[in-house]
Chains A and B, each alone.
Chain A
C-alpha cells in the first residue's frame, strides 16, 4: 500500500446554486502520477483547483468537506494559504510566464518565500535542468520569458513551480495549448519528475493519460465514477460508463 500524500473527503463544491463536485472521496499516493479524466464540464479542473485553494477569491463558491495534505486539512482556518501553496504547486493550461525575464520568473518565486539570496542562482539552475530547459536558455536568462516558444514557456512554468521544491504538483491540461513535439517533452518531464513529486494532472488526452499515469480517476457530472490503476481503468474498467468513455464512445 502506497503512502497517501493528498486526499479529499466528502468534498462538495457549489458555484452559486450549481452543485459542481458531489461528495468526492479520493486519495493520491505519494510520488505517483494520477490523471483526472472525464468529459468537459465534469468538474475535474474544479477539483484540481480546490487542492490549492484557487477558488478562495471567487465569489459564491462554497466548499464543504476537507482536503488533507499529509493528514492536515488545508482548509483549516489556521492554515497559511501562501505556505500551503508553496507545498502544492500548480501548472496551468495556458502557459502564464510573468512579464519578467526567464531568470526573474524563477527568482520571483524564491524571493516570495524569502530563500537566502546566495542560494537563488543554484536553485534556479537546478530547476531549469530538472525541467529540461537549461540547455535551451542558459545563455539568455535575461531574455523576457514571453519571447520563448509556447512549449518552452510551459516548461518555464513547470520550472517556476519546481524551484520551490513543492511536495505536490497540480497540472491543469498542461499540454492542451502545445504542439505534439512540445507535449511530448512535457510528458517526458512529468515522468522524470514523479520520483520526487506527487503529481495530479487533468488531461483530455486518453493516450497521454495511459502513457504517463500510475493511477487514473474518471469523473462524470461532478462525481468520481471510478478510481483505479491506469492499467485497470484502460484495460478492464469495472463501470460501464468508464468503459464507454475510455473507448471513445462519448466525451
Chain B
C-alpha cells in the first residue's frame, strides 16, 4: 500500500515537472506569436524596413543572420571537427591532452560578451577586418568551437573500436580508417552537434554587438566587409532603443517569432538527421 502510494507520488512529481516546463514554454511561445501575429507575413520576412523601421520588413536582419551563421559554420566546423579527430583518434592520453580538454571545457563556459570583446580586439582591430559580418562571424566561430569539438568527440567515441579494427586489420592506414569508416558512421552525430551549435550562434547577441552588427541598414549587404543587421540585435533594438517603442511592439514580437522559427527549423533538421540514420542502422 505504502509502496503504491510512493509510486503515485513519484509519478505525480515527475509528470508534474514535465508538464510545468511544457506549459511555461507554451506560454512564452503563445505570447510571442499572438502579439506578433498581426505583423508576421511573407512580406515582413522578405521586405525592407521603411519609415524609420516602424513599417516594412526585416529582410536585412534575416539575411544578416543567415550570412553570419554561414560564416560561423564555415570557420568553426573544419577546425572543430579536425581538433576532435586529433583528440579522439590520434592523441595518446597524457597530461598535455588533458590540459587541452580542460581548456576546451572552460572555453565553453566563458560568457559570450567576453568573446565579443576578444573579437573586437583580435579581428576588428589587430587583424584590421573592421566592424563587419566577417569579424562577427569569426567571433561567433570562436564561441562555437568548443561545442563543435565536444559534440564531435562524443560522436566519435560512440563508434565501437571493433569498427576501427575491422579496417586496420585489412591493411588500412589509420587515416583511411577514419576517413572511410569512423567519420561516415559518426556523421549524423557530428551534424546534429553542428546544427544545434548553429542554432545557438544564430541567437547570440553579445559577441556581435562589438564586432559588426548595425542599428539600421536599409539594404541587404553585398560584401563580408560591411556591417550588417541581425535578428537578435534587431529585436533588442526594437524593444528598448527605438524612438517609438509602443508603435513597433508588434514588429518586435514578429521579429522574435521569426528568430524562433529559424532556430526551430534548424532543430527540426537536426532531429530529422538523427531519426533518418537511426532507422537506417
Interface residues of A (CB under 8 A from B): 52, 54, 57, 59, 81-86, 89-90, 92, 94, 96-99, 108-109, 112-113, 146, 157, 160-161, 164
CB pair B165–A96 under 8 Å, yes or no, is yes
Chain B interface residue count: which class?
Answer: 20 to 34
B169:A146 contact, CB within 8 angstroms:
no
**Complex CA–CA separation, A88 to B159 (angstroms):** 25
User: B171 and A85: CB pair below 8 A?
Assistant: yes
| Chain A residue nearest in CB terms to B93 | A59
- Check: B23 CB closer than 8 A to any chain A CB: no
B162 proximity list for chain A (CB < 8 A): 92, 94, 96
**Known interface pairs A59-B93, A99-B185. Does A160 touch B163 (Cβ–Cβ under 8 Å)?**
no
User: How far apart sit A82 and B181, CA to CA, in the bound complex (Å)?
Assistant: 17
Instruction: Establish whether residues B184 and A52, one from each chain, have CB atoms under 8 Å apart when the complex forms.
Output: no
Which among B165, B184, B185, B281 is the interface contact of A54 at CB below 8 angstroms? Answer: B165
B residues in contact with A84, CB < 8 Å: 171
The answer to whether B181 and A89 touch across the interface, beta carbons within 8 angstroms, is no
Whether B169 contacts A98 by the Cβ 8 Å rule is: no
Query: Which positions in B face A, CB cutoff 8 Å?
Result: 92-93, 162-163, 165-174, 176, 180-181, 184-185, 281
New contact pairs (5) apart from A85-B170, A90-B165, CB-CB < 8 Å? A85-B171, A90-B169, A92-B165, A108-B167, A108-B180
Q: How far is the CB of A197 from chain B (nearest CB, A)?
A: 15
Once bound together, how far apart are the Cα atoms of A129 and B81, in whole Å? 41
Check A164–B185 contact: CB distance below 8 A: no
Residue contact A112 to B172, C-beta cutoff 8 Å? yes
In the complex, the 7 A-B pairs of residues with the closest C-beta atoms, listed nearest first: A85-B171, A90-B169, A96-B162, A96-B166, A82-B171, A86-B171, A109-B170
Residues of chain B within 8 A (CB-CB) of A59 are: 92-93
Chain B residues with CB below 8 A from A89, complex form: 169-170
Nearest residue (CB) in A for B164 is A57
CA distance A164 to B169 in the complex (A): 11
Q: How far is the CB of A172 from chain B (nearest CB, A)?
A: 10
Least Cβ distance of A87 to chain B in Å? 9
* A85 neighbours in B (Cβ, 8 Å): 168-171
Least CB separation from B176: chain A residue: A112
Q: State in angstroms the CA–CA spacing of A109 and B167 once bound together.
A: 8
Decide: B163 and A98 in contact? CB cutoff 8 A.
yes
Residue from the set B93, B163, B165, B184 with the largest chain A CB neighbour count within 10 Å: B165
Question: Which of chain B's residues have a CB closer than 8 A to the CB of A161?
Answer: 169-170
Closest Cβ neighbor of B159 among chain A residues: A99
Q: Which residues of A contact B170 (CB under 8 A)?
A: 85-86, 89, 108-109, 112, 160-161, 164
Contact (Cβ within 8 A) B181 A98:
yes
Complex A-B: 24 CB contacts under 8 Å: A54-B169, A59-B92, A82-B172, A82-B173, A83-B171, A84-B171, A85-B170, A86-B171, A90-B165, A92-B165, A96-B162, A96-B166, A97-B166, A98-B163, A98-B181, A99-B281, A108-B180, A109-B171, A112-B167, A112-B170, A112-B172, A112-B176, A146-B281, A164-B170
